[in-house]
Amino acid sequence: MNRTVLALNAGSSSLKFGVYDVGRAGEPHMAARGSVGIGLSAHIKAEAEKGKPLVDRALPDSSLEDVLEALLTWIETEFGGRRVTACGHRIVHGGTSFFDPVVLTPEQIDAIDALSPLSPLHQPRSVGPIRAIVKMRPRLRQIGCFDTAFHRTIRPPANRFALPRAYERKGIRRYGFHGLSYESIASRLQAVGKSDRRTIVAHLGNGASLCALRNGVSVDTTMGFSVLDGLVMGTRCGALDPGVLLYLLQHEGMAPRELQHLLYEKSGLLGISEMSADMRELEASADPKAREAFELFVFRATREIAALANTLGGLDCLVFTAGIGEHSDAVREAICRRLGWLGVAIDDDANLRHAPTISVPASTVEINIMPTDEESVIARHVLKAIGEI
């Protein structure tokens, strides 16, 4: 029977998973990837590496536990009778004490849960599947992999707020997120011998951020204390003058919960377009507000790219990844056109084809599209954490 690792990736808009068989040398081989939904539209959907459909099953009105149970049962019976020996999780916030992937104990799960105030909407989504599996399969080893960990290399001044130091001692500092995605891209760059380039990775999905890589390690990023900072996102505001928050609290009579809802769920592309958080829908719409949302997204992305190029002292390589970065030629084109002054020159044909390299040879900045693969990063961490590799 195959020994198998399940990698769960609870993102801002979905719960993705990867199923990895463990090879002889303990290395992971992807057997399936897919997503699960919960609630009314609950489902399991999976495909094999080359896109061959494996399962697409509706499980109407199922809870998170029901769906995870159905997923584990599918892997262990219909999908070739595999034996799941460990399960890895993407955890959004590791705070100041979780960096390396860990085999989770009940105390650690509580400690990770206790970080929820730092990421009120996302941390519970990370912890939910862990607690569900503890209930269903108490003996299954679960490994936590932290999105903040990749940014531990960011040093002052880049990780510092200009607040009195006492707040920094309380953990109020810039952490950075999407670390597993950046780790995935950094290891690809290393595999092709391009780690030494000053690189900005643009992770543009529902959640969006940038990471500046020097010699393959993070030296700056656009998300800070929370996943609200930096770029305009699907429903999140990105960087905002803190005076706006004070004004809303003091003069608009807004309660903290309402403010949280506004900033996390009503802002960004959705707030500006008054129509959708989905870039595909905005691109397809003739409504001027949809165009304005697109333009603000691009404007703010280029402004932040320029800021990170400043941190790096120049730019050799720009990498697009995640849903929008990998699939929207219109966003990539608009961003690259604005960055012409920085030596970025896009090849229109290559961009339309979503080619791996989309810069013209004369561009001083190489522009790449790289699919991110957070699940594979999780699977590797799992196997390391349980001593297989």
Q: Is 205 in the site for ligand ADP (CB under 6 A)?
A: yes
Cis, peptide link before residue 288, omega less than 30° from 0: no
Q: Which stretch binds ligand ADP (CB under 6 A): 82-90, 200-208, 212-220, 381-389?
A: 200-208
Q: Three-class SS of residue 181?
A: helix
Is-contact 49 376, C-beta < 8 A? no
Of 155, 169, 280, 353, the one binding ligand ADP by CB under 6 A: 280
Q: What are phi and psi of 37, to 5 degrees?
A: -115, 160
* Residue with nearest beta carbon to ligand ADP: 323
181: closest CA among 158, 208, 220?
A: 208
Is-contact 126 112, C-beta < 8 A? yes
Of 3, 327, 338, 384, the one binding ligand ADP by CB under 6 A: 327
If the CB atoms of residues 2 and 235 are measured against ligand ADP, the closer one turns out to be 235
Return d(Cα 55, Cα 45) in angstroms, integer. 5
Q: Is the dihedral of CA 383, 84, 375, 38 positive or negative?
A: negative
> Which is the catalytic residue, given 21, 56, 113, 147?
147
Q: How far is the CB of 228 from ligand ADP (least distance, A)?
A: 14
147 flagged as catalytic: yes
Q: How far is the CB of 325 from ligand ADP (least distance, A)?
A: 8
**What are the CA-CA distances from residue 341 to residues 104, 120, 199, 302, 358 (Å)?**
48, 39, 17, 11, 17
If the CB atoms of residues 231 and 309 are measured against ligand ADP, the closer one turns out to be 231
Q: Which stretch binds ligand ADP (CB under 6 A): 11-19, 67-75, 100-108, 344-352?
A: 11-19
Q: Is 85 in the site for ligand ADP (CB under 6 A)?
A: no
Is-contact 84 76, C-beta < 8 A? yes
Q: Is 278 in the site for ligand ADP (CB under 6 A)?
A: yes
Residue 226 token pair:
């929370």
Q: How far is the CB of 278 from ligand ADP (least distance, A)?
A: 4
Residues 217-256 as x/- pattern, contact with ligand ADP by CB under 6 A: -----------------x----------------------
Of 328, 351, 363, 376, the one binding ligand ADP by CB under 6 A: 328
Neighbour-count burial of 192, counting CB atoms closer than 10 A to its CB (0-12 exposed, 13-18 middle, 19+ buried): exposed
**What are the CA-CA distances from residue 175 to residues 9, 127, 148 (Å)?**
19, 19, 6
Q: Which residues bind ligand ADP (CB under 6 A)?
A: 11-14, 205-207, 234, 278-280, 283, 322-324, 327-328
Residues tagged active-site? 147
